[in-house]
A = this chain, B = another copy of it.
Amino acid sequence: MKISHVSEQWGIPVDTLRYYERIGLLPTVNRSESGIRDYSELDLRRVEFIKCMRGAGLPIEVLARYMDLVQQGDSTIEARKDILIRQRAQLAARMAEMQKTLDLLDHKIEVYEQKILEKEQVIHQLQMDEWESVQGI
């Protein structure tokens, strides 16, 4: 699969795909004789994994280290697990912080809705007053 196709399929710019390979986040992709990248099934699974991890904000440096350990084979399983556990913890912590912010946003939105309602009631009251004064009641 060519780079433009991968780019479309996963919504990752071609420049970013090449960048990931250049910095060693994505292991070297095979090329045709003319030097054009041809992504294998394995490459695609790696792209998907990286997209998922990057989408959650895991740093490239950490992911590159992880991918490097994967390349080194089974002797690095413990080290890889440690990385994932640490990143999982940090991710959970960030999500907890975001949940607090979400709650605060919900609260503030509710308060604003209340205020808008009150404002509308005041306008309505003013219109009623005007109507009544026109009617001479």
A98 CA to B84 CA, complexed, in Å: 14
Report A109-123 residues with CB < 8 Å from chain B CB: 109, 112-113, 115-116, 119
* A56 near B88: Cβ-Cβ < 8 Å: no
CB neighbors of B among A33-72 (8 A): 49, 52-53, 55-58
- Residue of A49, A91, A109 with most partner-chain B CB within 10 A: A109
Known: A116-B77, A116-B78. A84 touches B101 (CB 8 A): no
Interface size bucket, A side? 35 or more
A64-107 interface code vs B (CB 8 A; 1 in, 0 out): 00000000001001101100110110011011011111101110
Q: Decide yes or no: A88 and B105 within 8 Å by CB, A56-B98, A57-B98, A95-B95 being known contacts.
A: yes
Query: Counting CB contacts under 8 A, is A5 at the interface?
Result: no
Q: Kindly list chain B residues whose C-beta atoms are within 8 Å of the C-beta of A31.
A: none
Q: Once the chains are docked, how many angstroms separate the CA of A77 from the CA of B74?
A: 58
Chain B: minimal CB distance from A110 (Å):
10
Q: Which 10 pairs of residues, A with B, have the shortest CB-CB distance?
A: A56-B101, A81-B112, A88-B105, A56-B98, A55-B97, A84-B109, A52-B101, A95-B98, A84-B105, A77-B115
